[in-house]
């Protein structure tokens, strides 16, 4: 009798999915990666795409190129739409796939907390398309404002840029926007830059909540020095094409609201039916299995795993570490072993940039802010980027940005030409 080799399907070629496949290197199995795109995206640098520092292929890498030396691995580019756990079938928009083991690592999407107008009128930043949309729109606003000579009010509305959410994404985006504005000053000598405003809005009383107090205060100081107005204890109520409504009744006229205030798991995971948390993440077993479906593992942003009484954050190291344990458990199951590994997260700390030459790093006893923290941040991000070409191009762009302060990616790419043009 010929033993059939198992089929492992991994949904998502993000941090968790790629780390799972790497950890399954020595397994004798057919592996299919299902992703709606054909690339792995390095989300932590999306904000640099949206603020004209980097370009698309600096922060993304083709999945097929990653695994071209392993002929048991294939990419199925499709959107996973549902999981039939009973019959072990993954539904996609390009057909069904039968699996023996399934790893769900489809990441998250923006969470607008049910505010429909916020979803409609604000700019999310979870995908390449969204980051490019922000870049094009922000650059466009400068062009429009430059020609808006009649109304200061309209110009101010065009030149008011709001980031909502004081986590790393909101902080990094606000700091990077402030620097982009400084570059724009050179290109628009006729614009009055006193009319430009960047606001960072946060519902709680702090930015970067995972950082110690001294680094949070340092972050606030640096942001304010860059000209960012940080509005703490400020909750969003609604949004329109003309601006943002706050819970205290204030209206901020603006054409640009960037939403970095929350994420939720893709609807895909809920189709399976297990218990999910408020963000739609599956509450997984200690082995990362989905309750009731031992052959399905949920990891990364799709898994709710509690440690020391708190759910783990939705960050890349959690996805990477969970991937290793999920892969180890699949190998054990293939070998027929019953005792599976339990997951335990090792937190090495966190970091965020506030702009050129300024970052905060909190690792164990090391808690620093400033230039040295920024060097650590850069070095580690270069290490984590996929592909040598990306290391070289990103390193060169950062060096040039450091020396000259300019942003060469100030290219508006979404203009539609008709045939006459
Ligand atoms: C702007 C931004 C900045 C961030 N900065 C940091 C940071 O500095 N440090 C940090 O540690 N973390 C950061 N994070 C969080 C980190 O990126 C995530 O925690 C991490 O990517 C989670 O890994 P994952 O594998 O669960 O999902 P992801 O890496 O998001 O991968 C999900 C994959 O699934 C695919 N997919 C989604 N839906 C489907 C579907 N229905 N069918 C098929 N494929 C699908 C996607 O295309 C994607 O390739 C940031 C996130 C964002 C958005």
| Phi-psi group of 235: left, alpha or beta (phi > 0 → left; psi -120 to 50 → alpha; rest → beta) | beta
Identify whether the C-beta of residue 127 lies closer than 8 Å to the C-beta of residue 41: yes
Neighbours of 266 (CB within 10 A): 21
Distance 243 CA to ligand 1 centre (A): 29
Taking each helix axis as running N to C, give the angle between helix 168-187 and helix 213-225, from 0 to 180 degrees, rounded to the nearest 10: 20
Q: Are residues 143 and 244 in the same domain?
A: yes
In a domain, 329, yes or no: yes
Query: From ligand 1's centre to the CA of 159, what distance in Å?
Result: 30
- Nearest atom within ligand 1 for CA of residue 42: 17
Tallying the residues shown for the chain, one arrives at: 421
Q: What are the two backbone dihedrals, phi and then psi, of residue 341, each rounded to the nearest 5 degrees?
A: -80, 140
Question: How confident is the model over 132-179, as pLDDT tens digits?
Answer: 999 999 999 999 999 988 899 999 999 999 999 999 999 999 999 999
256 forms beta bridges with 161
Reply yes or no on whether 179 is catalytic.
Answer: no
Ligand 1 centre distance from Cα of residue 281 (Å): 13
Whether 378 maps to a domain, the answer reads no
Output the pLDDT for position 406: 87
Q: What is the pLDDT of residues 308-327, one digit of tens each?
A: 999 999 999 999 999 999 99
Per-residue model confidence as pLDDT tens digits over 183-238 = 999 999 999 999 999 999 999 999 999 999 999 999 999 999 999 999 999 999 99
The Cα-based distances of 174 to 256, 368, 412 in angstroms read 12, 20, 20
Question: Which ligand 1 atom is the nearest neighbour of the CA of 19?
Answer: 25
CA–CA dist 67, 280 (Å, integer): 30
CA distances from residue 125 to 108, 122, 128 in whole angstroms, order as listed: 11, 10, 8
126 pocket-lining for ligand 1 (C-beta < 6 Å): yes
d(CA 62, CA 136): 24
Task: Tell me the C-alpha distance between 351 and 353, whole Å.
Answer: 7
On whether residue 239 sits in a domain, the answer given is yes
Counting Cα atoms < 13 Å in the Cβ hemisphere of 100 gives 12
Q: What angle do CA 296, 285, 81 make, to 5 degrees?
A: 35
Residue 418 has pLDDT above 80, yes or no: no
Same domain as 249, residue 138 = yes
Q: Which helix (H) or strand (E) holds 133?
A: helix 128-147
Whether 370 is in a domain gets the answer: no
Residues sharing a CB contact under 8 Å with residue 336, sequence separation 6 or more, in sequence order: none
Nearest protein Cα to ligand 1, atom 29: 14
d(CA 223, CA 204): 17
Distance CA 151, CA 13 (A): 48
Q: Are 303 and 266 in contact (CB under 8 A)?
A: no
Q: Residue 2 pLDDT > 60, yes or no?
A: no
Of the three residues 229, 258, 287, the one that is the final residue of a domain is 258
C-beta of 319 in contact with ligand 1 (< 6 A): yes
Average pLDDT, integer, range 269-288 = 91
Q: Is the pLDDT confidence value at 32 over 80?
A: yes
**pLDDT band at residue 365 using 50, 70 and 90 as cut-offs:** confident
Please tell me the residue having the least CA distance from ligand 1 atom 37. Answer: 106
Query: Is the CB of 166 inside a 6 Å radius of any atom of ligand 1?
Result: no
Task: Read off the DSSP letter of residue 127.
Answer: S
Average pLDDT over the chain, rounded to whole?
Answer: 95
pLDDT in tens, 40-89: 999 999 999 999 999 999 999 999 999 998 889 999 999 999 999 999 99
**Cβ neighbours around 257 below 10 Å, total:** 22
* Measured torsion, CA atoms of residues 27, 28, 29, 32, in degrees rounded to the nearest 10: 50
Q: Assess whether 85 and 145 both reside in one domain.
A: no
Q: Which of 234, 258, 282 is the endpoint of a domain?
A: 258
Contact (CB, 8 A) for 179 and 222: no
CA of 42 to the centre of ligand 1 (A): 8
Whether 78 and 146 share a structural domain = no
Residues 219 and 172 in one domain: yes
User: Could you list the residue range(s) of the whole structural domain that residue 143 is in?
Assistant: 116-258
Give the 3-state secondary structure of residue 290. Answer: strand
Binding site membership of 316 for ligand 1 (Cβ less than 6 Å): yes
| Residues 151, 74 share a domain | no
Catalytic residue among 172, 179, 202, 322: 172
- The reply to whether ligand 1 has any atom less than 6 angstroms from the CB of 21 is no
Number of domains the chain contains: 2
DSSP 227: T
Same domain for 232 and 188? Answer: yes
Same domain flag for 227 and 274: no
Ligand 1 neighbourhood includes 165 CB (under 6 angstroms): no
Question: Do both 212 and 267 map to the same domain?
Answer: no
325: in domain = yes
Q: 3-state DSSP call for residue 379?
A: helix
The CATH number of whichever domain residue 216 belongs to comes to 3.50.50.60
Q: Is there a domain that residue 414 lies in?
A: no
Whether residues 175 and 126 share a domain: the answer is yes
Mean pLDDT along residues 302-312: 95
- Verify that 128 and 215 share a domain, yes or no: yes
Q: How far is the CA of 316 from the centre of ligand 1 (A)?
A: 8
Q: What does the angle CA 330 – CA 335 – CA 339 come to, to the nearest 5 degrees?
A: 70
Within-domain flag for 1? no
Q: Is residue 82 part of a domain?
A: yes
Beta-bridged to residue 10, according to DSSP, are: 33, 103
Q: Clarify whether residues 151 and 233 are in a common domain.
A: yes
Q: How far apart are CA 120 and CA 250, in angstroms?
A: 20
- Domain boundary at 334, 356, 385, which? 334
Q: Does the structure show a pLDDT above 70 at 3? A: no
- C-alpha 14 – ligand 1 centre gap (Å): 6
107, 166, 210, best to mutate for ligand 1 pocket (most atoms within 8 Å of CB): 107
Confidence of residue 273 (pLDDT cuts 50, 70, 90): confident
How many whole angstroms separate alpha carbon 33 and alpha carbon 305? 23
Closest atom of ligand 1 relative to the 16 alpha carbon: 25
């Amino acid at each position: 009798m010929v033993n059939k080799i198992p089929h492992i399907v991994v949904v998502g070629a993000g941090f968790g999915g790629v780390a799972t496949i790497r950890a399954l290197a020595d397994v004798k199995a057919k592996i299919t990666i299902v992703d709606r795109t054909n690339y792995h995206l390095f989300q932590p640098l999306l904000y640099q795409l949206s603020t004209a520092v980097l370009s698309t292929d600096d922060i993304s890498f083709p999945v097929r190129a990653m695994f071209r030396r392993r002929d048991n691995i294939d990419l199925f580019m499709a959107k996973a739409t549902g999981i039939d756990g009973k019959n072990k079938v993954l539904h996609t928009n390009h057909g069904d796939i039968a699996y023996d083991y399934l790893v769900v690592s489809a990441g998250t999407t923006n969470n607008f907390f049910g505010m429909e107008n916020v979803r409609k009128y604000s700019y999310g930043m979870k995908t390449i398309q969204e980051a490019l949309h922000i870049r094009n729109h922000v650059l466009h606003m400068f062009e429009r404002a430059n020609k808006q000579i009649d109304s200061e009010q309209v110009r101010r509305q065009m030149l008011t840029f709001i980031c909502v959410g004081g986590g790393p994404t909101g902080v990094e985006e606000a700091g990077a926007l402030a620097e982009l504005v400084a570059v724009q000053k050179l290109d628009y000598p006729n614009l009055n830059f006193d009319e430009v405003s960047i606001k960072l809005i946060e519902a709680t009383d702090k930015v970067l909540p995972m950082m110690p107090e001294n680094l949070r205060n340092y972050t606030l100081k640096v942001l304010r020095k860059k000209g960012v107005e940080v509005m703490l204890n400020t909750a969003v109520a609604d949004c329109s094409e003309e601006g943002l409504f706050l819970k205290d009744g204030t209206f901020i006229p603006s054409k640009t609201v960037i939403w970095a205030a929350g994420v939720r798991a893709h609807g895909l995971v809920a189709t399976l039916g297990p218990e999910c948390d408020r963000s739609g993440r599956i509450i997984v077993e200690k082995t990362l299995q989905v309750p009731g479906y031992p052959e399905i593992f949920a990891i990364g942003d799709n898994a709710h795993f509690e440690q020391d009484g708190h759910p783990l954050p939705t960050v890349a190291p959690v996805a990477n570490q969970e991937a290793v344990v999920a892969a180890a458990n699949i190998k054990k199951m293939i070998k027929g072993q019953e005792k599976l590994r339990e997951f335990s997260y090792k937190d090495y700390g966190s970091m965020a940039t506030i702009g050129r030459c300024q970052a905060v790093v909190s690792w164990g006893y090391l808690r620093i802010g400033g230039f040295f923290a920024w060097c650590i941040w850069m070095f580690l991000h270069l290490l984590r980027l996929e592909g040598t070409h990306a290391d070289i191009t990103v390193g060169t762009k950062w060096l040039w940005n450091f020396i000259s302060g300019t942003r060469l990616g100030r290219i508006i790419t979404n203009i539609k030409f008709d045939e006459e043009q």
